[in-house]
Amino acid sequence: MQRLAPALRQDNVPLDLISLIKTILAATKEISFRVSQAHLGGLMGSTLDENIQGEVQKKLDVVANELFKDILLESGFVRAISSEEEDTSVAGDEKGKFVVSFDPLDGSSNIDINSLIGTIFSIHEAIPGMDAEDPAQFQQQGNKQVCAGYVLYGPSTMLVMTTGSGTHFYVLDRTHGGYLLVERNVQVPKDTQEFAINMSNQRFWQQPMQNYINDLIAGDTGPRGKNFNMRWIAAMVGDIHRVLTRGGLFTYPADSKKPEQPYKLRLMYEANPMSFLIEQAGGLAMTSTGRIMDIDPNDIHQRVEVIMGSANEVEACLSYYK
Ligand code: FDP
């Protein structure tokens, strides 16, 4: 099995980006260890704080965020970072070539039940001549990402990453401490009979999504003429991993639960990196009105509607909005 650095060189990834990726992965190895220790390390439960988005921070969220922040800002490769757990972007090295957005631990509600969680990251080149302090560094579309990935802290610790030459799977080999390539150019099957959505929000969805899901549930007695299965891990990182592994449709649609906040997932460190991975694996990553990676970001914590996965099923879903 190939080690990470030669696999990246094979994809012609520049050396400075390889160095940054290795820096990110160093942090994930420590997070993987801490997650596996859980109660033993006294890291279960919540802090007394909320992040800027009003979500209660778990102790592991905070630890993972500090680890990432420190390692990235000390690396010299990074002009600025933005994180789910930071109110604003944080300046790094003025000479840093990259900006990094990350969700240090996605799926926080799974922490306490010893279930799937992961780290998501997205890398852009810094805008030449723009100050590290300037939050406009992050106003770049997803289609400008030079790398995106996630690390899943499951029964094995897996890295799923793209630098624009396909989406590849790696596994952390604890015997030598590095990530090994286990599957190159993963492909999301075009068709699927599996979908992932939080069904408890059904009454709050817009009519097109209500109609689409009703037709999936009707199965072979409805217009789709086939039965569908539903899966919901409740951590985007886990649900997208299943879609990349065996296909499926994942959606977090617009809803009217909180009228001031119609969308749940965040563009910069959830939707964009997952879109890059899904598209590089032959899937589609859309909102009901267009491609996620073509959205012009206006805020580091911007939220967005997400419909992604097997290409033909995403098209089928979008046809209900026409
Ligand atoms: P979490 O809040 O547990 O961190 O955006 C984060 C996220 O998890 C996603 O990973 C997940 O898909 C979604 O929220 C689940 O939210 P709901 O339980 O509110 O549907």
- Ligand 1 geometric centre to CA of 11 (Å): 33
Asked if 23 contacts 70 with a C-beta cutoff of 8 angstroms, the reply is no
Q: 138-154: per-residue pLDDT in tens?
A: 999 999 999 999 999 99
Residue nearest ligand 1's atom 8 by CA: 107
For residue 41, pLDDT over 80 is answered with no
**Which atom of ligand 1 is nearest to 235's Cα?**
10
- Average predicted confidence (pLDDT) for the chain: 95
- Give the confidence band of 60 by pLDDT, cuts at 50, 70, 90: confident
pLDDT value of position 304: 98
**Which atom of ligand 1 is nearest to 238's Cα?**
10
For residue 238, pLDDT over 80 is answered with yes
User: CA 103 to CA 122: how far, in whole Å?
Assistant: 9
- Ligand 1 geometric centre to CA of 164 (Å): 27
CA angle 245, 246, 252 (to 5 degrees): 85
Mean of pLDDT values over 249-264: 97
- Ligand 1 geometric centre to CA of 56 (Å): 12
Sign of CA dihedral 272, 183, 159, 19: negative
Q: Which residues line ligand 1 (CB under 6 A)?
A: 106-109, 198, 234-236, 264-265, 270
Mean of pLDDT values over 80-95: 96
Better-scored residue on pLDDT, 113 or 317: 317
pLDDT value of position 161: 98
Residue nearest ligand 1's atom 3 by CA: 107
Mean of pLDDT values over 162-174: 97
- Other beta carbons within 10 angstroms of residue 91's beta carbon come to 18
User: CA 144 to CA 288: how far, in whole Å?
Assistant: 21
- Name the residue of 56, 83, 106 to mutate for ligand 1: max ligand atoms within 8 A of Cβ: 106
Give the E-state strand segments of 77-228 in sequence order: 78-83, 90-91, 98-106, 118-125, 147-153, 157-162, 167-173, 178-183, 194-196
For residue 48, pLDDT over 70 is answered with no
For residue 274, pLDDT over 70 is answered with yes
- Ligand 1 geometric centre to CA of 7 (Å): 32
Single pTM value for the model: 0.95
For residue 212, pLDDT over 70 is answered with yes
Mean of pLDDT values over 228-236: 97
pLDDT value of position 97: 97
- Name the residue of 109, 150, 230 to mutate for ligand 1: max ligand atoms within 8 A of Cβ: 109
For residue 109, pLDDT over 90 is answered with no
pLDDT value of position 111: 86
For residue 95, pLDDT over 60 is answered with yes
Mean of pLDDT values over 86-109: 95
- Ligand 1 geometric centre to CA of 41 (Å): 25
Reading the block at residue 198, the tokens are 């939080």
Q: Name the burial class of residue 269, with classes exposed (0-12), middle (13-18) and buried (19+) by CB atoms within 10 angstroms of its CB.
A: buried
**Which atom of ligand 1 is nearest to 237's Cα?**
10
Residue nearest ligand 1's atom 12 by CA: 236
| 101 bridge partner residues | 82, 122
- Ligand 1 geometric centre to CA of 237 (Å): 10
Query: Which H or E element spans position 274?
Result: helix 272-280
pLDDT value of position 47: 63
Mean of pLDDT values over 40-58: 67
